[in-house]
Structures are given as C-alpha cells and as structure tokens.
Structure 1
Amino acid sequence: MAATRLLVEDLETIIKEWIMKRLILVPMLVIGFSFAALAQQPSEQRAALTDAAIAFDTKAAPALEARLRTQVLNGSDDSPVTNVKIAVKNVTSSFYTYVSGWATFYDSNAVRCGEGVFKLDALAPQESAEVDTPGLRLRCAPSTWRIVATNLMTRTADIAQVVATQPPPVEAVVERPAPVNFIISIDGEQHPIQVNNPIVLKLGNRNRKIVLKPVP
C-alpha cells in the first residue's frame, strides 16, 4: 500500500509539473507571435525637417507625402508655435474624397514636443495641396517630424466592383405531344397502338412488327 501511495504521489507531481510548464509556455508563445506581427507592420518614420514625411495606408503602402512650408519653427513653453503649413501629396492612383491625419514634431532627443491635425476634403492622384495644422502647440525647435494618416476615404468609383455573373441560359424544353392512341383492326380483331410505339402481331405464321409514324 505504501509503495502504491508513493507511485500515485509521484504521478501527481509529474502531471502538475507538466501542466505548469504548458501554462508558462503558451503565454510566452502568444507574446512572441504578437511581437513578430508588430515587427512586420511598417510604421511611419521620422524625417528631417527638410525631407518629405511619408504616411502609409492600411495595406502598408505609401499613401501621402508631406513637406513643410513653414520654415521658422522656434517654439517654447512660453511661446509655442500654434500653426504650420504643410504640402500634402497623394502618391497613390486613388482619388481621396477626404484625408486627415496628424503631423508630429520631435526635438533633438527624439522627444515629442508638438502635434497638429491636418484635413483635406479632396485630393486627386499625384495632386498636392497646402493645408494648415490647427490645434498645434509646438514647444521646441524640432529636428525631425512625421505624419500619420487617420482617414483616407476613396470615392466609390475607385473601389473594385463585384461583377455579377450571368446565370447560364436555360435550355429550351421541347414539349412532347401527349401520346395518341389508335386501334388497328385486323379481321375484326382490334389491337391498340400508339405513334412511334411499335407492337408485334402474328400474321400468318410469322411475327410482324408494326410501327405507326406521323407523316411530316
């Protein structure tokens, strides 16, 4: 009995250790896959003030290109810059009916020191337009900046339409006339017959096949 009890206790210990290892391993795998997925998603990179900043669409393709039009950007906590002009270009082949996003600025230590919203009601493919950034409070002399698109609405004509396939043609059904019954009378002996439905009659010493056909 003692040996059996020890064996059961050993089995319980082994099972508990196996379960604990699995409980630790599963969250680690989930976290690892999450980091891998995030690493595969491109993010908008910071650019120098003299360079173009690129914003991506939901498919991770370049959608907007922006350049600063305002040259003097010397903000501070006491005297923040409240607006800048940027030129936004649609670098896609789609017509955007509405575009909006954020323009964010960073100081020399890569610390964010201001952000403003930009909006455009329409932007054709390869078209550029100047826009303000209302709500901006730039509290530094930035060295880099970036833009992020929050809305990229396309017109309906640019969206691929699903072509409805036509159903296959219905084959014409040839109506067959209802069979017409006839009677063949041979020496008073009657034999029913239908059109194109042969019958065999014994005439004399031989069997004869009789077929009734319509005249075209």
Structure 2
Amino acid sequence: MLHGIALLLSCAVVITAQQPTEPRVALNEAATASDAKGAAAIEARLLTTVLNGSEDSPVTNVRIVVKNIGANFYTYVSGWATFYDSSAVRCGEGLFKLDALAPNESAEVDTPGLRLHCPPASWRIVATNLLSRTAEGTKPIETAPPPSEAVTEKSAPINFVISIDGEEHPIQVNNPIVLKLGNRNAKIVLRPAQ
C-alpha cells in the first residue's frame, strides 16, 4: 500500500514537471514565451488565418507578429511556434527568428519548415534564444588632477669652483659649502645678486 502511494506521488511530480511553462492558447489569442528567469519576454499573434492542414496537404508556412513585451533589447530572437489539434496532440511546429527586437517593438516573421498536418485548435510559442545586447564596457571616470600651486621655475644649478690657496672646492648657487679654516668651520653660500 505504501509503495503504491509513493508511486502515485512520484508520477504526479513527473507529470507536473512535464507541463510546459508557455501555455497553449486559442488561435485568435496571443501566445507568450518566457525568458530564462520565467518572466514573460515575447508574445506572438497569428496573421495566417487559413490553417487547414492535413496529411495529404500540410500547411508549410505561417506568418506571425512577434512583440517584445520585456524590458531587454534583444539582438537575436528565435523560437518555435507549435500547433495542437482538438485532442491536444501536437500536429506541427515551425521555427521563427528575428535579428533584433527592441522593447515594445513588433516584427512580422514566418515559420519556414512548418508541416502542419491538422486543423489546429490551439498553439503556443517557446523562445529558444533571447540574446540581449551586451553591456558596453564601463570606462572609469577620469577626473582632472587638482590644480597644483603655481610652481616657479628654478633655473638649473650653475656650478662654480672656489679656489683657496690652489685647492679647488665646487659650489652651487644657494647650496652651502663648509670649509675648515684653521680651527673653525666656515659656511660659504653663493647667492645671485639682487
């Protein structure tokens, strides 16, 4: 008995998991498809009204209008338009694709490769590719460096040589030199005349 209940519950879980996320709708209603997060992304309406397909004479193309009902700009959209007979048995599907679709924009497309073998009672669309525009690389904001204080240019140091009793001592302008004169040190600074 316990095994029977467990089997029944596991079958219910499998059946629930197999239900499509995109609902089937009547032919005169808009079908919606979701993005990867489960939010409604696009919707489609049938433009072709004569859909009397049969095994001997299948309908091979259908025109639909696809509208972007999401907030993303899509650079490529593709998916399947699937048709079901009155017994909810799939009887045809065709691939549609668009190169670009802006938010709230609609575009007319066809479904080449469709082979509709019945007069359908319902349909749905499934988005297989919703490629959004990639974010452009953000550039760091470059700010100008703060203005520095006015720098007065100093001329390159001029080297001089002081010769005391034949002994030469190099000296630069505004750089002191310390000389030992006898038993004391003398500090000598060479400055420009003002």
Give TM-score, length-normalised by structure 2: 0.59
The amino acid across from 1:55 in the alignment is: A
- Specify the alignment match of 1:192 in structure 2: 169
Letter in 2 for 1:45: E
Q: CA RMSD in A?
A: 4.1
Judged with a 3 Å threshold, the aligned counterparts in structure 2 of structure 1 residues 76 and 62 are, in CA distance, closer, same or farther, namely same
Q: In the comparison of the two structures, how many residue pairs are matched?
A: 168
Richer in strand (by share): 2
**What is the aligned counterpart of 1:131 among 87, 101, 109?**
109
Alignment of 1:92-111 (within 5 A): 92=70, 99-108=77-86, 110-111=88-89
Structure 1 distance, partners of 2:182, 2:102, is 97
Alignment identity in percent?
60
SS at match of 1:46: coil
Among residues 143, 153, 161, which one is paired with 2:136 in the alignment? 161
Tell me how far apart the structure 2 counterparts of residues 104 and 80 of structure 1 sit (CA, whole Å). Answer: 14
Q: For the Cα contact (< 8 Å) 2:22–2:34, is it kept in 1?
A: no
What amino acid maps onto 1:147 in structure 2? I
Structure 2 residues not aligned, in runs of 5+: 1-16
With over 3 angstroms needed to count, the CA separation of the structure-2 counterparts of 1:138 and 1:192, relative to structure 1, is: same
Q: Normalising to structure 1: TM-score of the pair?
A: 0.55
Structure with a larger share of its residues in helix = 1
Opposite residue 192 of structure 1, the aligned amino acid is: H
2:155 is equivalent to residue 180 of structure 1: no
1:116: how far off?
A: 1.4
- Contact 1:193–1:212 (CA<8 Å) still a contact in 2? no
* 2:6 alignment partner in structure 1: none
Shift of 1:129: 3.0
Moved more, 44-53 or 159-168: 159-168
Distance in 2 of aligned mates of 1:145 and 1:175: 85
Unmatched segments (≥5 aa) in structure 1: 1-38
1:83 to 49, 54, 61: 61
Matched residue type, 1:52 = A
Native 8 Å contact 2:22 2:126 kept in 1:
no
Q: Report what 1:145 is aligned to.
A: 123
**1:25 corresponding residue in structure 2:** none
Cα deviation 1:159-191 (Å, max 9, x = unaligned): 43224556998x9xx898366141143xx3645
